[in-house]
């Protein structure tokens, strides 16, 4: 195993522990702040097609945002995790019509696949740095996905305590366009 992969694995473990220790009341408050900021950003930019994630575990809960976007007629697309580091992008019609996937993920139950472009891609992660690099869970799904969408604005969302001086990177890692974090 390369030193960079070892560094990534150590950092993942540390960040999962930090995130798990967030106080529920502060997490809820922060999550709502993120939703408000994202909704304002989307409205200001007049974005119409958003790729987002359905939260799992202790990730930032963006379900209030997703509900609001669907209600406004904005196309929301979320991924279904497939083998070989691939994502199938499905239109999210309702947060009640979802099913469980692999690795604790969920995705829209109705397979209305979306193959177009996205105005915005909202990306979760475990750590970020000042150069807008992110550390994910290590599956490489977002790396493979993002490289195929150079036209999309890529926005990572994180908790303040997930900031590090330097995210270990490999040649396939891409920086995001922006990190949304409350400092």
The CA distance from 112 to 128, in Å, is 32
pLDDT for 114-136, tens place per residue? 999 999 999 999 999 999 999 99
pTM of the predicted structure, to 2 decimals: 0.94
Is CATH 3.40.50.10420 the right assignment for the domain spanning 3-180?
A: yes
In this model, does residue 143 exceed pLDDT 90? no
> What does the pLDDT read at residue 118?
98
Give residue 76's pLDDT band: very low, low, confident or very high (50, 70, 90).
very high
In this model, does residue 80 exceed pLDDT 80? yes
Q: Where are the domains of the chain?
A: 3-180
Say which residue the tokens 């922006």 belong to.
178
Specify the higher pLDDT residue, 66 or 86: 66
Side by side, the strands of the sheet bearing 178-180 are 86-91, 75-82, 49-51, 120-123, 153-157, 178-180
| CB-based contact 125:162 (threshold 8 Å) | yes
DSSP 95: T
DSSP reduced 3-state for 37: helix
Q: Phi/psi of residue 86, each to 5°?
A: -110, 150
Give residue 84's pLDDT band: very low, low, confident or very high (50, 70, 90).
confident
Q: Phi/psi of residue 24, each to 5°?
A: -55, -40
């Amino acid at each position: 195993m390369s030193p960079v992969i070892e560094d990534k694995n150590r950092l993942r473990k540390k960040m999962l522990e930090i995130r798990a220790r967030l106080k529920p009341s502060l997490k809820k408050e922060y999550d709502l702040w993120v939703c408000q900021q994202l909704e304002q950003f989307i409205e200001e930019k007049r974005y119409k097609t958003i790729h987002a994630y359905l939260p799992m575990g202790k990730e930032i809960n963006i379900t209030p945002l997703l509900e609001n976007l669907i209600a406004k007629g904005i196309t929301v697309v979320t991924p279904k995790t497939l083998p070989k580091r691939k994502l199938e992008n499905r239109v999210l019609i309702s947060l009640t019509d979802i099913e469980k996937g692999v690795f604790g993920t969920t995705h829209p139950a109705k397979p209305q696949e979306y193959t177009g472009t996205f105005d915005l891609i909202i990306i979760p992660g475990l750590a970020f740095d000042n150069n807008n690099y992110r550390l994910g869970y290590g599956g490489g799904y977002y790396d493979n996905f993002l490289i195929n969408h150079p036209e999309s604005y890529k926005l990572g969302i994180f908790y303040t305590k997930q900031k590090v001086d330097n995210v270990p990177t490999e040649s396939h890692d891409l920086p995001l366009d922006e990190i949304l974090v409350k400092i």
